[in-house]
Amino acid sequence: MGSIEELIGTAGLVGVALILFFESGFPFAFWLPGDSLLLTMGLFAARGRFDLVELIFTLFVASVAGVAAGFWTGRAVGTRWLDPERSVLVRKEHIERARAFYAKHGGKA
């Protein structure tokens, strides 16, 4: 695998925006390099490789769109993925413990 500079050179601003979109909106994409990519893009903008205004606007829109897509996906799926009858990872005891925890600690949690 190449360096992040090679990735940005190949993918460009659209590729970076897609990475930020998925990283900010979907829990399965936590491994994507969102924060370090933002820092690197800022350095590239300082070196003149990207226009700063275009960079800020594009990545802001990608981030907000990713969060909105994640929200609507969560709203559509809801808690169905937590159903112990369907899930291999989630058991009924886990759900009961989580509910008891939040009932006890409420807003401070």
Q: How many CB atoms are located within 10 Å of the residue 41 CB?
A: 23
Indicate whether 109 pLDDT > 70: no
Contact 38, 48 (CB under 8 A): no
pLDDT tens digits, residue range 50-99? Answer: 888 998 999 999 999 999 999 998 888 877 777 777 777 778 888 889 88
> Hey, is 32 helix, strand or coil?
coil
Q: What residue segments make up the domains of the chain, in order of their start?
A: 1-77, 79-109
Q: What average pLDDT does this structure show over 31-56?
A: 85
Beta-carbon contacts of 15 under 8 Å, excluding residues fewer than 6 positions away, are 7, 8
Look at residue 87 in the predicted model and tell me its pLDDT. 72
Please provide the DSSP assignment of 42-96 as one string: HHHHHTTSS-HHHHHHHHHHHHHHHHHHHHHHHHHHTTGGG-TTT-SS--HHHHH
Torsions phi, psi for 68 (to 5 deg): -65, -40
